[in-house]
Amino acid sequence: MQRMIFLAILAMTGWLGAQNVQRGSIKGEAPDFYEFAPPLVYKPRYKHDERREKIILNPDFFCTQCSKEGRIKYKSRDEMKDILEMTKKFPIPMDNGQKERHHGRFRLMDRPAGPIIKGLFAQKKAKHPVFIEDKTIRIFCDLPGFSTKKFTYPRRVIELEQLADIFPKISKKTVVLNWHHHAHLYLIRAHRVLRDFKSLVKIEKYKKTMTFKGPYMGMYEKWEIFIFQRQANMLGFIKGTLGSADEDGRCWHNLTDASMSAILHAQKRNDLQLNNTFTHRFAYNVITGYRKYEYDLPTWVALGYAHLMERRERTDFNTYLLGEQRTPKFPRHKKWKVKIRKMVMTKKIPRSFAEIAAFEKLSDIPPIEHYLIWSQMSFLMQRSQDKMGLFINFLKDKKTGESTRNLVIRALRIAYGLSIPVMEEQWKQWVVDTYPAV
């Protein structure tokens, strides 16, 4: 009964039902609800052939498998060059006299994409390789199919609705998605992460700051995503392209092309857990690459945002980006709020916020402090999403010679009217007031 009343209150306040979110029963803590973008009302955009329904007449993406199955008429990615690439014209010539720049070239990991894709498809035990490229994103996936009913997961209905636009046989009643659907699903999810971020930072207001930057939220080339079923295949790929292996994946900035790559694996992870890791890594890349990656954001902001996005999905599986190091063994607590409240109550916070604010590297933040930075980000977010949008944009305006700590001090003051010590005190009070003790 209590649960019914609680749900009714949520429904009244508009927290429930937005975006058809069905988060279901979760072991651990309930996610914090932050909706950045208005609920998505999906309008189908693909026209299908009347006689052979599976054929898409107006594809705006290339997919190796759709091409193979005759769903799109294009046999190769380059036949779609006019749709997938673009030339950005500048209102006035740049300092070097350049009047325009070409974007969307067929590249991956800072090199020609053709051989990379060939290598990925030829990987040992790669059972379901698919490559899809649209106007914004390139994604390689090697995942099996899965049952959408096995676990209650967020946004099942809206995701099926979006998939049905590509695959007419899919409906809201579809239970099993095959490996090809699964790849398209991750492209859909990537667009959701982008949409949420654009809404949060109010990107339209900052278009001017990107006049001479790239068309992909400032980056010059498209967002790259690589999802491997087998961890060994992912490690082989990272080793072959970046030289060093990171056992859980990589978030990578390609220096020459000015693009961002998110690399991850699904071994021993169900789709819910994979969706969490995917959301975390891609959100990290998006906030890092926004307005073109030129320097490191304060680590707690980029990581805190990635945790927050992941924990909006589910809280019972958490991803840790730890930088270039072997993953240490550490306790993976499920109840983060309880843990943090205890830290605050017993005055055992491992590090002051003033110290954390100066960090620029992932390896600066040990696993135990990930709870902390997530909570601090969540504190600022619940105070005001508008201010958070401003805050992120101020952080993207670093002055020459300004230290990361001073940048945080300045951005906090302008966006929130807070100093670091005052913010820390208010955060502690908020934790004590709102987080559960057990």
Q: If DSSP codes are grouped into helix, strand and coil, which group holds residue 147? A: strand
Told to check if 63 binds Zn ion by CB under 5 A, we report yes
Specify the residue, 133 or 257, whose C-beta has the smaller distance to Zn ion. Answer: 133
Smallest distance from Zn ion to CB 63, Å = 3
- Could you tell me which stretch among 57-65, 225-233, 322-330, 377-385 binds Zn ion (CB under 5 A)? 57-65
Specify the residue, 166 or 322, whose C-beta has the smaller distance to Zn ion. Answer: 166
Specify the residue, 129 or 215, whose C-beta has the smaller distance to Zn ion. Answer: 129
Smallest distance from Zn ion to CB 76, Å = 14
- Could you tell me which stretch among 42-50, 62-70, 106-114, 306-314 binds Zn ion (CB under 5 A)? 62-70
User: What are the start-end ranges of the E strands in 76-158?
Assistant: 86-89, 100-103, 107-108, 111-112, 129-133, 137-142, 146-147
Residue nearest to Zn ion (CB): 63
Specify the residue, 167 or 216, whose C-beta has the smaller distance to Zn ion. Answer: 167
- Could you tell me which stretch among 59-67, 319-327, 336-344, 403-411 binds Zn ion (CB under 5 A)? 59-67
- Could you tell me which stretch among 55-63, 147-155, 358-366, 412-420 binds Zn ion (CB under 5 A)? 55-63
Tokens 């590249």, located at residue: 107
Q: Which helix (H) or strand (E) holds 201?
A: helix 179-201
Specify the residue, 21 or 66, whose C-beta has the smaller distance to Zn ion. Answer: 66
Smallest distance from Zn ion to CB 130, Å = 6
Handedness of CA 33, 13, 40, 172 (dihedral sign): positive
Q: Are 112 and 106 in contact (CB under 8 A)?
A: yes
Smallest distance from Zn ion to CB 222, Å = 17
Smallest distance from Zn ion to CB 168, Å = 13
Told to check if 65 binds Zn ion by CB under 5 A, we report yes
Specify the residue, 65 or 393, whose C-beta has the smaller distance to Zn ion. Answer: 65
Q: Give 124's contacts (C-beta < 8 A, 6+ positions apart).
A: 233
Query: What φ, ψ does residue 88 adopt, rounded to 5°?
Result: -95, 125
- Could you tell me which stretch among 10-18, 60-68, 82-90, 282-290 binds Zn ion (CB under 5 A)? 60-68
Q: Which helix (H) or strand (E) holds 367?
A: helix 367-383
Q: Are 95 and 144 in contact (CB under 8 A)?
A: no
- Could you tell me which stretch among 65-73, 138-146, 384-392, 401-409 binds Zn ion (CB under 5 A)? 65-73
Smallest distance from Zn ion to CB 178, Å = 11
Q: Which amino acid is at 7?
A: L
Told to check if 66 binds Zn ion by CB under 5 A, we report yes
Smallest distance from Zn ion to CB 246, Å = 29
Structure token digits, residue 294: 């030129």
Task: Looking at 69-129, list the stretches that DSSP marks H as alpha helix, in order from N- to C-terminal side.
Answer: 81-84, 113-121
Smallest distance from Zn ion to CB 67, Å = 8
User: What are the start-end ranges of the E strands in 146-246?
Assistant: 146-147, 176-177, 223-228
8-state DSSP, 24: -
Q: Are 258 and 220 in contact (CB under 8 A)?
A: yes
Using CB under 5 A as the binding criterion, the count of chain residues that bind Zn ion stands at 3
Structure token digits, residue 266: 């699904």
Specify the residue, 65 or 276, whose C-beta has the smaller distance to Zn ion. Answer: 65
Smallest distance from Zn ion to CB 12, Å = 41
Site string for Zn ion, 5-44 (x = CB under 5 A): ----------------------------------------
Quote the crossing angle between the two packed helices 271-289 and 299-313, to the nearest 10°. 150
User: Cα–Cα distance between 20 and 330 in angstroms, integer?
Assistant: 35
Q: Give the binding site for Zn ion (CB under 5 A).
A: 63, 65-66
